[in-house]
Structure 1
Amino acid sequence: MVHAGQNEPLAKLWDIDDEEIPKYLEIERTLINADKIINQELVNLGVAGTIFAGSYIDVKTNKTNINTIDQSKARNIINNSPLLKQYEAFISIVIVKKSYDELKNLLNGINELAKKREPFGIVVTLHVINNEVIITSCNYNKRFLRDAEKMGAIIVSSTSCGQENHEDKEKDHESKIFDEFDINFPVFGGDGLYIKHTDPDKPEKYSIGFWAICENNVNCVVTAGHCFYGYPPNTTIKADCYHSGWNNEPSDKIIGKSAIYITTPYDLAIIDASDINVNLKLRAAIRNTGSAYSELIINDGITVSTIGAHLCKSGYITHVSCGYLKTLEGFVINIFGDWHENMYFTSTPATSGDSGSPLFSFSAINIVILNGILAGSFGGDTTGFLILSTIIEYAKLHPVTE
C-alpha cells in the first residue's frame, strides 16, 4: 500500500504514514529491550542454544518471535520463569527444526571446510529467521558447495558476482542543503568519495562513511578498505581522495590521503583529513533525500544486535534506503580470497558505489545512531556491514557526534 504521507525512509520500510514513525520507533525500542531481557534469561537458564534457536522482532505485529525445537518445553520454561512471564504478551513461539547450537556447529563446520577448500566469492550466514546456514555463492566453488550442502547448508546463487549494475539517481534538487554560491561545502556521511588510482583519468567512486577523531587528535574519515584495491596495504604511496555531492562529478576539493586500509580480516580504510580543503566542512551528520529533513544528525554510536530491527544506509549511488538486520554471525570470502569477519548482514538495498557508506538506525525522525559502514552488497537482499565496535577498537578512533 502506498500512503499519501509516505516520504521518510522508515515510513516506506514499515508501510506507514510519516506521522506514525515516532509511534513505531517506540514500539521497536520496547521490543528490542524485551528481546534482550528474554534472551539473557534463556542464557541464564542454560537453554538458549539447546531448546531454543534465537529470536527476532517484528515491529508490525509488536512481537518477539522465539524459535524453539520443542514447543511444550519452551512453554513450560516461560511459564516457570517469573521474568519471562512478565514479557509473555510480547512473545510468539515459532517451531523450528534446528536448535541454535546445531546451527552454530554447522556454521563452524562450514568455516573449517572453507579453510580447507579455499573458495572465493562466497557469503556464509547463520539465519535465525530461516533457521538455516545459508551460503550465497557465484557459479564456481563447486566442490566446496557440494560438500557444504551435504553438511546441511542451503546454497543460493549470487546475483552480483562482480557484475553489479546500477542506475544513477536523477538529480534531487530537494536534497541540496547549501546555497550554490556558498563557498563552504558540508561533507556528510553518504556523500561521494572519489579515489584517484594509478590512472588519474579514471577515479573510482565510493561513499564516505563518517567523520571521526583518530590518534593524535587528527580528523579522519572512515570508509571501506576494498575502495583502495590497487595499493598494497600500509603502503607509503598514498591515494588522493576527493569529495563529491550526490549526482555530481568529482570535485577538485580534496578530503585527504589514505592513511591505512585493510581488506582482511576487516574491510576498513581510514583517510587522513588533517589537510582537508578549506572549503570543505566535516559534519557529524548523514545526507538524506526525499525527506523534510535533508540531514540526519548523528548523536550516538552503538551496534544494533537485535534481529528484525531496522537499519538504514546513505550511499552515493542509491542514496538512503532501509531494511532489517538479518543475521549476526557469518563470514565473507571475496573474489580475491580475502576473509571478512565481524560483519552483520541486513536486507538494506545497496549496490556498487555505495561501499563505505554509513549504516545507522533512527532514534527520532531526524536523529540517528551510527552502527558501522557498508562493506558490500552480495546479491538478493543481503548486504554486509562492518560493525562500529570493531572499527573503533581496530582503528583507535572516536566517531564525532552532536
Structure 2
Amino acid sequence: MRQTATGELESVFVTSGRCYRYEIDYYLKPWGPLGIPPPNIYRIGIMDTSNARNRGYDYGILRIGGEVVLAPSIKNIDSPYHPEIQIWNRNLNPNIHLGIHLCKSGYHTRVNCGYQRSNDALFFDQIDPYKISYIINIDNNRQDVGGPVFQFLTLSTASSSYFGILTGGIGNIGLTTRIDDIIRLSGVFLVGVGQ
C-alpha cells in the first residue's frame, strides 16, 4: 500500500525496476502446477517511472489498476501441505548475519531456499550499478526477478517474515534489495496478515 498526495491509500505491487519498459501495461501470470500453463493472465497496471532504478537501488512500484486482488501471502502450490506462505511482517531483526536461511519465490524456479553469503554489495551490469542488500546462494532464473525474498518464522504454519525482492542473479547466486530500503525510498508500506 501507499499513501497518495491526496491522502488516500492505493494498492501497489513492488517488483524489480529492471522490469521497466516505458509506459506499458504490466500483467500477472500466476504459475500453476508444473507443466500446465496458467489459465489466466491479469492486468496489474503501469509502473511508476519515478521509482524505477531510484538512487542506485533496484525496485519498481506498479500501481494496481486491473483485476488483481492483493493477498499477504506467497504462492507455494508445489507443497501439498502449505500451498500459501503467510506474510506476517517485514524483517524486524536488525542483526542480519551471514549464514541465515532465506527463501524466495520465483516464476521459473518456484520456492526454494539458501543461505545468506554477503551483506551490502555493489553490482554492475550493462545499464548502471545498483546496491545489493543481500547475496544468497539460491537457485534463480531471470524470470524470477521481482519475486519475494523471505524467511520462515515457523514451518508448521508456513508463516514468514518479508526481507525484500530478488533483483537478479548469476548462476546460483541471488541478489536482493532489502524491503526496508524500498519502504524508505518509495513510501510504500507492507501489509501483512492481520493488518
TM-score with structure 2 setting the length: 0.85
Matched, 1:370 2:162: yes
Q: Which has the higher contact order (CA 8 A, sep 6+)?
A: 2
Taking the TM superposition and a 5 Å limit, the aligned residue runs for 1:161-310 are: 213-216=1-4, 217-228=9-20, 230-231=21-22, 238-247=23-32, 248=37, 251-260=40-49, 261-263=51-53, 265-273=56-64, 275-277=65-67, 280-291=68-79, 292-302=81-91, 305-310=96-101
Task: Tell me the residue number matched to 1:196.
Answer: none
Which whole-Å deviations, capped at 9, do the CAs of 1:39-92 have from their partners, x for residues lacking one? xxxxxxxxxxxxxxxxxxxxxxxxxxxxxxxxxxxxxxxxxxxxxxxxxxxxxx
Taking the TM superposition and a 5 Å limit, the aligned residue runs for 1:127-146 are: none
Deviation of 1:214 after TM superposition, in Å, equals 1.2
C-alpha distance in 1 between matches for 2:132 and 2:108: 25
Deviation of 1:244 after TM superposition, in Å, equals 1.4
Deviation of 1:319 after TM superposition, in Å, equals 0.3
Deviation of 1:344 after TM superposition, in Å, equals 1.3
Aligned-partner residue type, residue 395 of structure 1? S
Deviation of 1:354 after TM superposition, in Å, equals 0.2
Task: Tell me the residue number matched to 2:192.
Answer: 401
Which whole-Å deviations, capped at 9, do the CAs of 1:95-140 have from their partners, x for residues lacking one? xxxxxxxxxxxxxxxxxxxxxxxxxxxxxxxxxxxxxxxxxxxxxx
Q: CA RMSD in A?
A: 1.7
* Partners of 1:345 and 1:382 within 8 A in 2: yes
Deviation of 1:241 after TM superposition, in Å, equals 1.2
Matched, 1:326 2:114: no
C-alpha distance in 1 between matches for 2:119 and 2:71: 30
SS in 2 for 1:262: coil
Identity %: 27
Question: Deviating runs (4+, > 2 A) in structure 1?
Answer: 247-253, 260-264
Task: Tell me the residue number matched to 1:388.
Answer: 179
* Partners of 1:243 and 1:250 within 8 A in 2: no
* Partners of 2:132 and 2:175 within 8 A in 1: no
Distance 1:289 1:342, change over 3 A: same
Q: Which of the residues 117, 139, 145 maps onto 1:349?
A: 139
C-alpha distance in 2 between matches for 1:308 and 1:320: 19
C-alpha distance in 2 between matches for 1:385 and 1:252: 26
SS in 1 for 2:143: coil
* Partners of 1:242 and 1:251 within 8 A in 2: no
Deviation of 1:342 after TM superposition, in Å, equals 4.5
TM-score with structure 1 setting the length: 0.42
Which structure shows the bigger proportion of residues in helix conformation? 1
* Partners of 2:12 and 2:62 within 8 A in 1: yes
Distance 1:339 1:294, change over 3 A: same
Matched, 1:361 2:151: yes
Deviation of 1:320 after TM superposition, in Å, equals 0.4
Aligned-partner residue type, residue 288 of structure 1? N
C-alpha distance in 2 between matches for 1:250 and 1:269: 26
SS in 2 for 1:323: strand
Which segments of 5 or more consecutive residues in structure 1 lack a partner in the other structure? 1-212, 232-237
May I ask how many residue pairs the two structures share in their alignment?
Answer: 178
Aligned-partner residue type, residue 78 of structure 2? G
Structure having the higher Rg: 1
C-alpha distance in 2 between matches for 1:298 and 1:249: 24
